[in-house]
Structure 1
Amino acid sequence: MGPDFEMEKAAYAAGMLHVAGVDEVGRGPLAGPVTAAAVVLDPLLIPDGLNDSKQLSKKRREALAELLAGCAMVSVGHASVEEIEQVNILRASHLAMQRAVAGLPVVPDQVLVDGAIVPHGMNLPVIPVVKGDTRCLSISAASIVAKIARDRIMVDLAQQHPGYGWETNMGYGSKSHMAALRNLGVTPHHRRTFKPVHKMLYQEKIVSS
């Protein structure tokens, strides 16, 4: 059983005009921003095959993201590494979600958010949906858009900082990424409050003092 449109249908049946699905990607990596997407699907033009982005191949994700750009209202928001360090990753992911929703061409009457927490500061009716990316088509669509947007950023950053493998590990702490951190050091795009990076900086400090 894949995601369905039941939650959105219930909202439309209650007289709502625009329902947005929201999801984020990039809470776990050691480098790069956290990215969120908000998507308002057209009930009459829902692309086939929407699912949690993790269940889809890269090729399928890209094809669906392109379809969504043409048939749905789509917005992407980010929170920077600096913001992640200042306010913590959970709050930063909520910031990215707020920005994604604010970037939509309409103000949604209902927001369906992946996860168990209502994002802090989103002053709209929000329903948190646990495992929403596998249950709700609008959230599945948002998960695909967010993943594609963040992957593109990491591929771009990988060209500026070669050696860390960001074009394939997307900033997550893979074996090759950890080895590069040890050999090449910490870049401005690394999250210094995250334990492996913090530990490395602390060790460098000890060595240089």
Structure 2
Amino acid sequence: MTSRTPQPARIRTRVTVPLRFGDGYRVDADVVTFHDLADGAEHLALGLGDPGASTTPLVRLHSECLTGDVFGSARCDCGPQLREAVERIAERGGYLLYLRQEGRGIGLYNKLDAYALQDRGLDTYAANAALGLPEDGRDYTAAAQMLQTLGAPRIDLLSNNPDKAGQLAALGITVAERVPTGVHASPSNLRYLRTKATGTPLTLGHGLELLSEGA
């Protein structure tokens, strides 16, 4: 895979934001914004714990999910993954990159259109295809820029998704280890998680292990 290291971004501002989750967990985040990101989107980096404590900080690339992160939708595992990632990164030191890539890059309205097709029996990837949309339209060039700007060209990546590690490596970021997240299964999202675990020729699966219907 050919490396194509992007031009670095510039830090726009830093501000401390106290985070509080519904279960009572609290932590302070050093929130960083940027100039010159490749896609022009308003992505955020949240520094948690002591990111400089290790030469390989723990990093999560978390794609925005309004329905899961904000409203607690049980149709996906995004909200629980966000909660898990913040605590694990804070304990070790690193960054959570909150990327404005709703619906794996297709946008909020298209994501809800895909949900309607899923209610008729299509899986998440087939629903996107039926709408003429990519299975996964995310590009992590801006994430690589953010990591280079933050002085984190070598990381441990908190993710079940091999595509994230592959794209970062192609963009000049060294992924020393891919650290799996937990499996946040419920009756409402089990089919969605199984689809991710099975994968497609493009996505290659997320390495999830769903042991039973009640997992």
Shared fold, TM over 0.5: no
- Give the TM-score taking structure 2 as reference length: 0.28
TM-score (normalised: structure 1): 0.28
Kindly indicate which of the two structures has a greater share of residues assigned to helix.
1
Structure showing the higher strand proportion among its residues: 2
The structure showing larger relative contact order (alpha-carbon pairs under 8 Å, at least 6 residues apart) is 1
